[in-house]
Chain A
Amino acid sequence: MPDVTATVDIEAPPEIVFDHLVTPKGMLAWMGDHAELDARPGGQFAVNIEGTPVRGEYLEVDPPRLVVVSWGVLGNELLPAGSSRVEFRLTPIAIGTRVDLTHIGLPDVEQPKHAAGWAHFLPQLARAALSRC
């Protein structure tokens, strides 16, 4: 599927936003219920998001401007650990920080021939989605 992009403007300085991407305490304040993070290139990026074990590595860490991690789901054939890439770009703006996110390398879930693939992937998404309702 095409890259996913998203942007948010945050009323907090880049240093504080950056902390939320590289420390377990900061990460868990907005995503996941367990995190093991080693925020240096090649370091572990492991976050359990409502039952989904997201696994990868920190690829780039440039405080307080850039964090790049590899991203996948442990045991998932369609999106294996470390198989996609998420970039967080932090830009200082008047009110605080703009975060531009890009998620690249996501699997194609649109084609019926991949039905077995997405049927395998979905239960994990289901847990993530349902637990938020």
Chain B
Amino acid sequence: MTAEPAPLDVTLRALADANRRAILSVVRDEPRAVGEIAEAMAMSQQAVSHHLRVLRGAGLVSETREGTRHLFAVRSDGVDVVRQFLDDFWPSRLAALKAAAEQAARDHA
């Protein structure tokens, strides 16, 4: 609809990958380091790092430092974007209903 990618678009694209959804499940209860996530996922650290970059870019995980370790955790702001989508769903549908019913009324006339 809009020229520039909406935040939701980025968020949903990030979530379109099953591995990234699984990573979110791994870090949802407590922050974890890349190595821990890789072990839980049975994936290479390189692959996990790539997915974490995408998730972080979408605002779905946050990164903090604890000494030399980088810890990743679920970030709730990303979830708020989804909530916003749910709030927008019906207004956009009703706009479509309005267009369709008004067209039908004109066709009847």
Contact of A17 with B101 in the complex, beta carbons under 8 Å: yes
Q: Could you tell me how many residues of chain A have their Cβ less than 8 Å away from some Cβ of chain B?
A: 41
Bound form: Cα–Cα A7–B91 in Å: 7
Determine whether A16 belongs to the interface, using a CB cutoff of 8 Å to chain B.
yes
Partner of A101, one of B82, B94, B100: B94
User: Chain B nearest CB: distance from A26 CB in Å?
Assistant: 7
Determine whether B74 belongs to the interface, using a CB cutoff of 8 Å to chain A.
yes
Interface of B: prevailing SS? helix
User: Chain A nearest CB: distance from B24 CB in Å?
Assistant: 5
Partner of A1, one of B24, B74, B86, B103: B86
Determine whether A118 belongs to the interface, using a CB cutoff of 8 Å to chain B.
yes
Chain B residues contacting A118 (CB-CB under 8 Å) are 79, 82
Bound form: Cα–Cα A25–B21 in Å: 37
* Partner-A contacts on B (CB < 8 A): 1, 8-9, 12-13, 15-16, 21, 24-25, 28-29, 74, 76, 79-80, 82-83, 85-87, 89-91, 93-105, 108
* Partner-B contacts on A (CB < 8 A): 1, 4, 6-13, 16-17, 19-20, 26, 29-31, 96-97, 99, 101, 103, 106, 109-110, 112-113, 115-116, 118-120, 122-123, 125-126, 129-130, 132-133
Contact of B86 with A4 in the complex, beta carbons under 8 Å: yes
Bound form: Cα–Cα A132–B1 in Å: 7
